[in-house]
Amino acid sequence: MQQPLTTMFVIFLAFTFSIFTTTTSVTTIGVTYSSSPPQSENISAAMSTLKLHSLRLDDPDPSIIRSFLYTNTTLFLSIPNYMVSPIASNRTLALAWLYAHVVPFYPRARITTISVGNAFLDSYPEYISDLIPAITNLHLSLRNDLGIRRIQISTTFSFVSAISSPFPPSSAVFQEPPGTSNNFFGSLLRFLQETNSSFLINVFPYNLYRLRSEIPLGLALFQEHAFNYRDDVLTGVRYRNLFDMMVDAVVSAMAVAGYESVPIVVAETGWPSGSTTGNEVDANVGYAEIYVRELVKHIASGEGTPLLKDGVREVYVYEMFDKEGKQGRDWGLFYPNATMKYDIDFSGTSSFTFGEYSFVSVALSLSVAVSITFL
Ligand SMILES: *[C@@H]1O[C@H](CO)[C@@H](O)[C@H](O)[C@H]1NC(C)=O
Ligand SMILES: *[C@@H]1O[C@H](CO)[C@@H](O)[C@H](O)[C@H]1NC(C)=O
Ligand SMILES: *[C@@H]1O[C@H](CO)[C@@H](O)[C@H](O)[C@H]1NC(C)=O
Ligand SMILES: *[C@@H]1O[C@H](CO)[C@@H](O)[C@H](O)[C@H]1NC(C)=O
Ligand SMILES: *[C@@H]1O[C@H](CO)[C@@H](O)[C@H](O)[C@H]1NC(C)=O
């Protein structure tokens, strides 16, 4: 009996090892839609073209949510910033928003996340003390008035207003917003931990690259060149892209605040493919394509980041369509006429999670079969 049991154990270990080495990252990739007017058919068509199953809707029109009934597309909804203060002072308005955007569709539409505002701190810094009361009112309406427990409530920050600096990532801390009690982020993170919700943040290496002239373009665009790295002198970790540095800065800030186990979702990331203001030579279609393609490849590698081996939970590419006639930067994967700007293959990433799960179950049933044989 001794010999077969040992063999079985070795085989079992081998399977277990292969499970752990292949299921490192379960990051889901999605895309953001924020243009108006609503064009539901065009959005569904674009999701199929991209082969994506996660959609983030800024200020969603109910007709768009309706168009995803009975599909397996997960929906992340953002409440517009101008509604945050009214919702903070009147819970009836929270319930009214839920009655218009969630109640008629859920759970037939797979709404997973509601963000109360998007970069609210940047738009309404003087009303920042309304943010947590608004989140609380939404949470109470959803849980107590409607009895819905599976949708997470959170809010979205921009990297530059939430985090001190990613140089080096390990020394980053949250910047307490002026005019708040001295533990704003701590209170928010405690709520997120207690309600099993994620910390949502917009991560734009492009913006940081524009702000800091010493950052090489290749570091922002995931280029593997000999000199494209930055060492974190405190941890000895070598970074080869700015995205990982920014994510690890968030990881470090959360650890300092005492909440390192709250999952992180990158609610927006991307690279502009054009700009109507001059002198933005790095906002071009070629760089936008490189950024998105390399981001997808990096996420699909399952390596996570140096400080977050499992990676962030979700990443939403900003954004689906260019906004028609808008001044400033264009971020779309598609022109307003729904022609794609460049070919990009997301198919290896959005179903990644499910592929991994099925691999785990195959491996487990194999090891069970092996042990039965040997016993
Ligand atoms: C979701 O739908 C797409 C397209 O129909 C399919 O490829 C994918 O496997 C589905 N995912 C799940 C979890 O059902
Ligand atoms: C809260 O909003 C509802 C709906 O608009 C309104 O009827 C009610 O008067 C408001 N309550 C307060 C205290 O402002
Ligand atoms: C927390 O969220 C995860 C992912 O959404 C889910 O699988 C898990 O069951 C949740 N746990 C609780 C206690 O709600
Ligand atoms: C869509 O717009 C882009 C940019 O303006 C243009 O290059 C392309 O030819 C258009 N496609 C169609 C089908 O009209
Ligand atoms: C949007 O969808 C409608 C209906 O399918 C279609 O007729 C229209 O051409 C689409 N618009 C664009 C810009 O693709």
State the distance from the centre of ligand 3 to the C-alpha of 196, rounded, in angstroms. Answer: 6
d(CA 362, CA 350): 20
Residues with CB under 6 A from ligand 1: 53, 72, 351, 354
- To test the pocket of ligand 2, the residue of 85, 87, 89, 90 to mutate (highest count of ligand atoms within 8 Å of its CB) is 90
State the pTM of this model.
0.86
- In this prediction, residue 16 carries a pLDDT of 37
Picking from 260, 263, 293, 348, the residue whose alpha carbon sits closest to that of residue 52 is 348
Length, in residues, of the chain = 375
CA dist., res. 218 & res. 367, Å (int): 45
- Residues of the chain whose pLDDT is less than 50? 1-24, 350-375
pLDDT on residue 78: 98
Q: pLDDT tens for residues 134-145?
A: 999 999 999 999
- Return the half-sphere exposure (C-beta side, CA atoms, 13 A cut-off) of residue 112: 17
Model confidence pLDDT, tens digit, residues 169-226: 999 999 999 888 779 999 999 999 999 999 999 999 999 999 998 999 999 999 988 7
Q: How far apart are CA 158 and CA 267, in angstroms?
A: 9
Q: Confirm or reject: Cβ of 99 under 6 Å from ligand 2.
A: no
Phi/psi of residue 323, nearest 5 degrees: -85, 130
- SS3 breakdown of the chain: % helix, strand, coil, rounded to 5? 45, 15, 40
Fold of the CATH domain 27-374: TIM Barrel (3.20.20)
User: Rounded to the nearest whole angstrom, what is the distance from the C-alpha of residue 43 to the centroid of ligand 5?
Assistant: 9
Nearest alpha carbon, ligand 2 atom 6: 92
Calpha distance 115→154 (Å, rounded): 5
Within 6 A (CB) of ligand 5 lie: 39, 41-42, 337-338
Q: What pLDDT shows up at residue 179?
A: 83
Q: What is the whole-number distance in angstroms between the Cα of residue 86 and the centre of ligand 3?
A: 30
Domain ranges of the chain: 27-374
* E strand intervals along the chain: 28-33, 54-58, 74-79, 110-118, 152-158, 199-202, 230-231, 238-239, 264-269, 274-275, 314-317, 329-330
Question: What is d(CA 345, CA 287) in angstroms, rounded to the nearest whole number?
Answer: 16
What was the pLDDT predicted at 4? 43
Dist. CA 320 → ligand 3 center (Å): 29
